[in-house]
Amino acid sequence: MATARRRFVILHGWQNDKPEGHWERLLAERLTERGHEVCYPQLSDPYHPVLAQWLREIESAIDPDPGIEQVVIAHSLACAAWIHLAERGSDRLPVDRLVFVAPPSPKLLSETPELRGFHFPDGAHLAVPRTSVVPPRLVCSDNDPYCDPSADFLYGDAFDVDAPPGCGHFDLDARYGSWDSMLAWCEDSSHRITAR
């Protein structure tokens, strides 16, 4: 049975056009089947993203209704966008719960032409905890090709960390389809998020 008035916002990353079989799409389907409200927007031009546009779309996806438990699941480049949103501030924040999955490194953002607009200064991630009522969660791995050094090293001081080894970027290349522990965390935040 679904928890009353719980809403999930699932935010994808770079080059993600919500493909069949991706864990985000499957998670949206399973949460919807369980009676939850789900917002899973296709962010503009995921291959050549523009930060200002993504920030507008992310803000519009958040429903600040105090009667709704708002849970945000951000993957990859959406995490970088959220860091900018945290620094800038928004009257739609804080949300009730937040999880970052596989955020990219600032080095990758600065060295990838399509992503330079998402680059943020050192320490900017420290603004993220004020965007969530409870401490935000970080899920990362030791072999993410988009984050070197690993995200727990770069960002762990601002998050409650789950770091299952060998999971890459938690994407289709890493065979991330159905992800039971993420679904379990969505419905009960006491669950740790482990490998699929």
- Per-residue pLDDT tens for 67-93? 899 999 999 999 999 999 999 999 999
**pTM recorded for the entire structure:** 0.95
Lowest mean pLDDT among 15-19, 52-56, 127-131, 149-153: 15-19
138 pLDDT more than 90: yes
H helix or E strand, kind and range, residue 29: helix 23-33
Instruction: Tell me how far apart the alpha carbons of residues 32 and 128 are, in angstroms, rounded to a whole number.
Output: 27
pLDDT at 52: 98
77 CB neighbour count, 10 Å cutoff: 29
pLDDT at 1 over 80: no
pLDDT at 4 over 80: no
Average pLDDT estimate for 93-107: 97
Cis upstream peptide for 64 (omega within 30°): no
Label residue 3 by pLDDT band (50, 70, 90).
Answer: very low
Matching CATH number, 6-187, of 3.80.30.20, 3.40.50.1820, 3.40.50.180, 1.20.1440.230: 3.40.50.1820
pLDDT band at 49 (very low <50, low <70, confident <90, very high): very high
CA pair distance 143, 102, nearest whole angstrom: 10
Average pLDDT over residues 151-166: 96
Q: Which amino acid is at 63?
A: D
- Looking at every residue in the chain, the average pLDDT score rounds to 95
What digits encode the pLDDT tens for the residues 55-71? 999 999 999 888 899 99
User: What pLDDT does 185 receive?
Assistant: 97
